[in-house]
Chains A and B, each alone.
Chain A
């Protein structure tokens, strides 16, 4: 028979172990995932799910013929043992047989993510990230002929196109300005590696860092499909709001006096 005192002591010890241990453990997990962002191999699940799913076996790293992928180590700030790549060092060369995604046993890299409708998986559907241009450090935007990223892009004239603009400074030259198209860009980073600037003026960011979101309440009236949404959601949203208190607030004496 265990005494009550003993039981209480045990429970307290357990609470301290779970609380304290859990806290330290959680801290170290946060420390190992503190990098601002990380680029994953093609077909990766969303980062949160990817971190759950990846079993850290490195088979994608082994499958990569260009040594693009590495496994994170302590100190990288990326979850230990998960695969990532840094395009400025070695970009993804978009192998058509997608060996990395194909070799993943865990489902963290998923060929379905690279498959549109009934077709076969296609590396060109990958969304590892999105190339972003910093105009101020881009030679082309200075008016100097460069096009390094445009020429290097595996999806030239689709993912990166050139816009022509008159060079107002000289009055007689053209500026050939690279522009990235987010619906096509795979985030492979060949452009980032090709960029001649000391620190790349075009670089890949993960999609969630490089994209915005307008919000459901804006509708493109000039697109038939989009306009249908007007009947779906708006009414429900109105009910959520406390219209009465808003009107009361506007009619409030204090507000009018002020």
Chain B
């Protein structure tokens, strides 16, 4: 493999890590050094002391729990919602979310060490949508944003941004479940935030496009994909990867030696 080729196989991964770590750095700098570029955390943040951004799923839970959130939080959530629903799809999960770094490491280690354990009970990838629905019911019944209280993602970024220690334990649980119990367990099966972005991002513009004519059926893309079922058209028809669960991580593009995958823009509304 030439050096250029090798770079191609990790270029999006490196870009994603740079972006993910930059967000963490800016948030942490906001707390520790008072940088004003980005303050707060992934639940709600403020850019340059002027523009609010909020997690739309967190705000949805707040609304369901019976509190009318402030206008800055509502507008911030609407902005994020529109960005992912119209443009990015489920890009939050693979390009921003810090938990993705952890689960990607687990995913890669499974491949490197050939850990092939599957759960004794088969777990549906739809579980996350049921958890999403349940989180809203529990929020309403207990009068509190239910997922935000127990979210391993929040515990992870708070552990980093605010330097608290106890959250790491639950992050370790997520890591080992992904590594030994269920492949892509957290991001691909359980996380209701991922489920939320899967639902709202289905018709977003940025999608991976597959070209059947170039495909040689090597299955490399299936090997690296965290959301395998979205690749069902690969080798069969030329189309966008339309499944909302696709995180637009670009791994399939990186590993494809036939250039049969590429980022593309989708403007139709087929199911």
Contacts from A to B (Cβ < 8 Å)? 17-18, 21-22, 25-26, 28-29, 32-33, 48-49, 51-53, 55-59, 61-62, 70-71, 73-76, 79-81, 103, 105-107
Contact = CB atoms under 8 A, between A and B. Distances in A.
B252 interface: no
Interface string B216-246: 0000000000000000000000000000000
B142 A73 contact: no
Contacts of B37: none
The B contact surface, by secondary structure, is helix
Contacts of A28: 149-150
A243 B173 CA distance: 63
A107 B67 CA distance: 10
Contact of A74 (B40, B52, B170): B170
B142 A26 contact: yes
B155 interface: yes
Given A18-B137, A25-B146, A51-B143, 14 more contacts: A21-B131, A52-B62, A52-B67, A53-B67, A55-B43, A57-B45, A59-B46, A71-B158, A73-B155, A80-B148, A80-B149, A81-B154, A103-B46, A107-B70
B134 interface: yes
Contacts of A21: 131, 134
Interface string B54-82: 11001100100111011011001000000
Given A80-B154, A105-B52, A107-B73, A75 B145 contact: no
B22 interface: no
A52 B138 CA distance: 12
22 contacts: A18-B134, A22-B141, A29-B146, A29-B150, A32-B150, A49-B67, A55-B148, A61-B162, A62-B40, A71-B162, A71-B164, A73-B165, A73-B166, A73-B167, A74-B167, A74-B169, A74-B170, A81-B148, A105-B46, A105-B70, A105-B73, A106-B62
Interface residues of B, number: 50
B31 interface: yes
B128 to A, nearest CB: 13
Which 3 pairs, one residue from A and one from B, show the smallest C-beta to C-beta distance?
A57-B44, A107-B70, A52-B67
Contacts of A22: 134, 137-138, 141
A103 to B, nearest CB: 8
Contact of B44 (A25, A52, A74, A106): A106
